[in-house]
Structure 1
Amino acid sequence: MSNQEHVCDVLVIGSGAAGLSLALHLAPTQKVMVLSKGPRSEGATYYAQGGIAAVFDESDSVESHVDDTLIAGDGICEEDVVSFIAENAKECVQWLIDGGVPFDREEDSDDDEPKFHLTREGGHSHRRILHAADATGAAVQTSLQENVMQHPSINVMERHNALDLITRKKIGISGANRVLGAYIWNRDREAVETVRAKFVVLATGGASKVYQYTSNPDVSSGDGIAMAWRAGCRVANLEFNQFHPTCLFHPEARNFLLTEALRGEGAYLRRPDGSRFMPDFDDRAELAPRDVVARAIDYEMKRLGADCMYLDISHKDPEFITKHFPTIDEKLKTFGFDLTKEAIPIVPAAHYTCGGVMVDQNGQTDLEGLYAIGEVSYTGLHGANRMASNSLLECVVYAWAAAMHIGENAATAEIPPTLPHWDDSQVCCSDEEVVIQHNWHELRLFMWDYVGIVRSTKRLERALRRIELLKQETNEYYSNFRVSNNLLELRNLLQVAELMVRCAMARKESRGLHYTIDYPDKAENSGPTILVPDFPC
């Protein structure tokens, strides 16, 4: 099948809050192409329940938001980055409001002076979480999509995977290395196509699909992290994988998360006998940061031999519950639970990748012309543990920052000349797709068992040996057979799993989301874990 070529000013890989926000900022002056692996709404943004953090209350302050984030990050956040994001939070969230995101307002609010209903979540000392009931991500994603559709200069291509970045070094062009575009997989044509662009932006989200149990959608397979690493970019802090403490425990409830805002509004965590346990672990009880809460739940489950713990908000007024958590209330009813009357069974699940591709405050990676924004990136905001509702905030602030930087440099950048087409003349179609499925399931299971909430050196070493074998098997498969969606994702997941384990093995302490029984204490001097490729860009 003939190779198809696309040309644009900016190629955005990913269609969540980060990618669409950046595309909208650039649309007035640039031709933008946005790739979406599936339907454009099928990403982590759409499923975000809680909200977005910003200082809108007069009793709150930017300094307090910074302090809370630094505390949650357990000592290794980049303080200048935290300040940069907190200082620009209100303006960037206001941009979402102006774009039509319907954040909840207080009942006595009016159109002239809108007063937003602010909730509180774990780690926050004030109510500063703007939300749209309990479906904030869906509201943000829907608003951004509607605005994107009005711009003729933005072309969203659904069912297209990015396969690999194209750089000057990769295709043998002399001179300073730079990204030139990407090879992409058209899932409908089942063909590899080429994109030429002045700039490429990775907005691919995280890598929680590397774990057996996750709150994330299927598209969260670490694609951007793996592609950037193969292109020679540094990565950092991939040992810090956040496990959301409260996902519904039910055999048919795949990926259903129970927002932290429930605990912010007074929900308790209980043992099977009904007793609370969080006060035994932390003075902040249910409002402790996620790493503390997830470890406490994991500890109690193992100590008691229990399949789950319970989340209980039934002591609150039923009308209050159904008003503030309508989506969760309705969803739970489909599984036979009544949020207003009973405690709900929960377990932790992989939720957020705190590390990623290293970027500066413009979102630019080590590779000229390549940017990374949102969960795919390591900005320094989250440190050893992401504070609730800082993720959507990071997306919109860095989308704005990267768009400004791209705009400033667009006039001097050129769309590269014709690039080499993808050569698949020496490969054939596979009749052994079962190999991919088997390796995929094996990877996710041992990552859950060996690189989960509690780790050890022996478990990490065991995981690394298995990853090396699976990588060898998968790379051989990749070399001989035509690409497919599952093969591309497995290849990327294995690469990111290796980076996660290598970061975890390098950290000889327990801090934030990384807890190892061999090094249970914090080191006196600590910072980010940075990995450099053998062939840096």
Structure 2
Amino acid sequence: MSTHYRHDVVIIGRGAAGLALALRLPAHYRIAVLSKGDVKQSSTYWAQGGMAAVLHARDSVDAHVEDTLRAGAGLCHRDAVELTVSHSRETVDWLASLGVDFDLREDIDQTQSPEYHLAQEGGHSHRRIVHAADRTGGAIGEVLEQRARQADNIDLLPGRIAVDLVVNDGRCKGIYVLDEQKDRVDLFEAGAVVLASGGASKVYLYTSNPDGASGDGIAIAWRAGCRVANLEFNQFHPTCLYHPEAKSFLITEALRGEGAHLLLPNGERFMPRFDERAELAPRDIVARAIDHEMKRLGADCVYLDISHRDPGFVRQHFPTIYERCLEFGIDITQDRIPVVPAAHYTCGGIMVDSHGRSDVEGLYAIGECSFTGLHGANRMASNSLLECLVYAQAAARHISEQDLSSSNAKSPPPWDESQVTNSDEDVVISHNWHELRRFMWDYVGIVRTDKRLQRALRRADLLQAEINEYYSNYKVTNDLLELRNLAMVAELMIRCAIERRESRGLHYTLDYPELNPDPVDTILIPGNYWH
């Protein structure tokens, strides 16, 4: 029998955005943080390079803003960029006060005035990436999770998968959630629901993301009536380790920031031919260059080489990558690293304002599932962790000013599964899962055409119809929910890509190679695209 829970705030997602929000909310609020797993299953934990912040005297907020606007290829919202960047120093200070141990410079006396070691990454005009070796996301996530565990008002509930929101009279009243262990769907009623569920890169065959990045928040927000925007802009990280046994292991951009070169199989550098910034060009340019060279040569991969740097420096600054590659027989102090592009970040998402508010009252979205306007047509490296934390604070402040009382409101109904049965056709899920990810990779990847997009849309329509019929007749499972959400988000991505008749940032189409003079966001409105 299902259970009815009541909280002041329910948060979907246990990465940096969700945990930071929980910690920023008033201590007297009763908060539930629901997730598929713990913080180690989040994209936050997998983030290697670091977090962008203006921390050096030679750097400035204006410079960081301009770099972000330039990388975003004309589609960043300046107000969102300025909001995010202007809060970068206080965000770093807050994390440090919680116990995040960022790396310090070794070449100065730290006893007088501690100074962080700052890395440089593509698109940045200054060294401004604060980091904890090459596992910054893990360091941040572990501290946030530890603090959340110590808080008496926060319930951390893993093994939960969001199903659908409860919306009555235009207001979000809660959310239905699958308890995977107990095989039942519970109702979580709340004064505010916050989606911090991450991106949707699992829609592609090759991705750097953890398995849970299935677009759940975007899909359930769309079904609840929220607009989505700019989902055609899917960032492909240029350098994921290419090895049959290395599932989704990313090679941080910080390696290129420290002088690593991208090489063809014959040892020739190629990035200078594509951009004057060479290996430090923004990710869309680097990923397209690698894709072009692999297709031109028929190569399975290209190579990243940092073996010309001092071995001690490499091992000290990139210990995680060094150890992981060593497991596969690659000594990065001596050997080239085989790499390929892989889906990495969803730049579009649920439309929100500067407080993280969505179109539905009582529903917020923060982190990768949201669209704030920060990233534009191409996310600049290491801005995403900063966005998670800045908008977590903004949403917490706004929620704390609301009346979350629901004592006079009628409670939503419990989940009804009286008309469904257990499935004996799970092969449908596995087959559709593979087909979806394959055609998204082939037709909606780094380089697109109208013909490919139309083929993808036809297949997405067929899959949606089949999945919806299956969903209506059988009990929900984690695999079914993720497939349902991925198919929905895939369709939204395809429709956004079809709408954009130009090549800009991460969206590159052979049919429209030029830029439109007046760029606008691609906004989809529920009701226009319902099946």
Distance (whole Å) between structure 2 residues aligned to residue 305 and residue 355 of structure 1: 32
Give the letter aligned to residue 280 of structure 1: R
Structure 2 residue 303 is matched with structure 1 residue 319: no
Distance (whole Å) between structure 1 residues aligned to residue 274 and residue 412 of structure 2: 57
How many percent of aligned residue pairs carry the same amino acid?
61
Spell out the pairing of 1:105-504 with structure 2 (5 A cutoff): 105-107=104-106, 108-110=108-110, 113-169=113-169, 177-410=170-403, 416-504=409-497
1:27–1:153: 8 Å Cα contact kept in structure 2? Answer: no
Distance (whole Å) between structure 2 residues aligned to residue 88 and residue 57 of structure 1: 14
2:238–2:340: 8 Å Cα contact kept in structure 1? Answer: yes
Distance (whole Å) between structure 1 residues aligned to residue 446 and residue 112 of structure 2: 47
Give the letter aligned to residue 21 of structure 2: L
Shift of the alpha carbon at 1:513?
0.2
Alignment partner of 1:520: what SS?
Answer: coil
- 1:410-447 CA-partner distances (Å, limit 9, x unpaired): 46666843220111011100111111010000000000
Spell out the pairing of 1:32-47 with structure 2 (5 A cutoff): 32-47=31-46
Change (3 A) 1:383 1:456: same
Structure 2 residue 10 is matched with structure 1 residue 7: no
Distance (whole Å) between structure 1 residues aligned to residue 442 and residue 230 of structure 2: 20
Shift of the alpha carbon at 1:27?
4.5
1:166–1:179: 8 Å Cα contact kept in structure 2? Answer: yes
1:109–1:116: 8 Å Cα contact kept in structure 2? Answer: no
Change (3 A) 1:453 1:206: same
1:198–1:416: 8 Å Cα contact kept in structure 2? Answer: no
* RMSD between superposed Cα atoms in Å: 1.3
Shift of the alpha carbon at 1:110?
2.6
Change (3 A) 1:124 1:442: same
Alignment partner of 1:409: what SS?
Answer: coil
- 1:318-374 CA-partner distances (Å, limit 9, x unpaired): 000000000000000000001000111100000000000000000000110100000
Alignment partner of 2:165: what SS?
Answer: strand
Change (3 A) 1:21 1:194: same
Distance (whole Å) between structure 2 residues aligned to residue 314 and residue 414 of structure 1: 64
Shift of the alpha carbon at 1:29?
3.1
Shift of the alpha carbon at 1:451?
0.1
Shift of the alpha carbon at 1:100?
0.7
- 1:19-46 CA-partner distances (Å, limit 9, x unpaired): 0000000141311100011234311000
Alignment partner of 1:41: what SS?
Answer: helix
Q: What's 1:172 paired with?
A: none
Q: What's 2:24 paired with?
A: 25
Give the letter aligned to residue 45 of structure 2: Y
Change (3 A) 1:261 1:423: same
- Gap regions ≥5 residues in structure 2: none
Shift of the alpha carbon at 1:75?
0.7
1:92–1:400: 8 Å Cα contact kept in structure 2? Answer: no
Distance (whole Å) between structure 2 residues aligned to residue 374 and residue 13 of structure 1: 11
Alignment partner of 1:200: what SS?
Answer: strand
- Gap regions ≥5 residues in structure 1: 170-176
Structure 2 residue 514 is matched with structure 1 residue 521: yes
Give the letter aligned to residue 161 of structure 2: N
Shift of the alpha carbon at 1:409?
1.1
Distance (whole Å) between structure 1 residues aligned to residue 45 and residue 404 of structure 2: 34
1:507 aligned residue (476, 479, 500): 500
1:197–1:415: 8 Å Cα contact kept in structure 2? Answer: no
Distance (whole Å) between structure 2 residues aligned to residue 422 and residue 481 of structure 1: 14
Distance (whole Å) between structure 2 residues aligned to residue 19 and residue 273 of structure 1: 45
Q: What's 1:173 paired with?
A: none
Distance (whole Å) between structure 2 residues aligned to residue 154 and residue 438 of structure 1: 39
Distance (whole Å) between structure 2 residues aligned to residue 489 and residue 67 of structure 1: 37
1:15–1:41: 8 Å Cα contact kept in structure 2? Answer: no
Distance (whole Å) between structure 2 residues aligned to residue 527 and residue 135 of structure 1: 36
1:533 aligned residue (496, 516, 526): 526
1:77–1:383: 8 Å Cα contact kept in structure 2? Answer: yes
- 1:233-252 CA-partner distances (Å, limit 9, x unpaired): 00000000000000001111
Shift of the alpha carbon at 1:109?
4.7
1:167–1:179: 8 Å Cα contact kept in structure 2? Answer: yes
- 1:53-109 CA-partner distances (Å, limit 9, x unpaired): 000000000000000000000011001110111111111221111111111001235
Give the letter aligned to residue 285 of structure 1: A
Give the letter aligned to residue 192 of structure 1: V
TM-score (norm 2): 0.98
Distance (whole Å) between structure 2 residues aligned to residue 501 and residue 112 of structure 1: 55
Distance (whole Å) between structure 2 residues aligned to residue 136 and residue 162 of structure 1: 28
Equivalences, count: 529
TM-score (norm 1): 0.97
